[in-house]
Amino acid sequence: MSRIHKALEKAREKRQEQRLATGKASPLEKIVYTDSQVIPVCHTQLEKNRVVSRSAHDPRSQLFRTLRTTILKQMRAHNWRSIGITSPSPGEGKSLVASNLAAAIAMEVNYTALLVDMDLRNPGITHYFDVEPKLGLADYLQGDAEIGDLLVNPGVERLLLLPGRGKLDNSSELISSPRMVALFNEVTERYKSRIVVYDMPAILPRDDVLAALNHVDCFLMVIEEGRNSEVDIRKAIQSMQNANIVGTVINKSQTVESGYMPTMA
């Protein structure tokens, strides 16, 4: 595709996003992703991968939609455009919550969602959307690709993925790099109707989240019930004292049938 053709297609996508931001888009108007890579995923497969927030029959979908509505209300009140999803320790379900939250936000007719895999040492959102992109965030950070080369639409209306690929050991240094700072600014500011969801690493093992605090508007904490000690949870929250924490999600809870219990601060 020539540079002129790419520029024209990007302009078309931008006009569509601007129509959403100004409320001029019809609820039935579809965004046609002609510049971003489109890898259609069967919705049945998404549900098998537990991305259920768009499901019409899975009872867990309403929990994620309620979480979305509560978070968007807070974000609108503060004019926030980006949210990081993290947890005290690895394996508590933050990537699953991030994937479902982004898919639910994309259901809102006045918004689009971009889900960014910021777990540079252990990227995982491609698993939930069953896609195998040729490029990922690591390629951009290493100077081998540009942002537009990375974006993937998984066949879900109004949703783009910026996937991870490979494992980077110097993750916190890369998050602080000028190239990453440029990405933070670009993905947030390009479209006023876009909500950016960052699937962040866990807080306690390393300082990646701390390196991103000044570039992400707010954070949601995912805590697996019974996994962490009270000391670890307090330590994780204390390390985020300068961040805007909009609430917590208690995951794998034994007190609710669904296994998810949003608790908003």
Structural domains in the chain, CATH included, are: 38-264 (3.40.50.300)
Distance CA 98, CA 106 (A): 12
Q: Does residue 12 have a pLDDT over 60?
A: no
Residue 30 confidence (pLDDT): 66
* 212-221 burial code (b ≥16 CB/10 A, e <16): beebbbbbbb
pLDDT at 136 over 60: yes
CA-CA distance, 66 to 219, in Å (whole number)? 17
Contact yes or no for 215/241 (Cβ under 8 A): no
CA of 230: how far to CAs of 85, 97, 235, in Å?
A: 20, 22, 8
Give the distance between the most distant pair of CA atoms in the chain. Answer: 57
- Predicted confidence (pLDDT) per residue in 23-72, tens digit: 455 444 566 666 678 888 888 888 999 999 988 888 889 999 999 999 99
Task: Convert the pLDDT of each residue in 208-238 to its tens digit.
Answer: 999 999 999 999 999 998 888 899 999 999 9
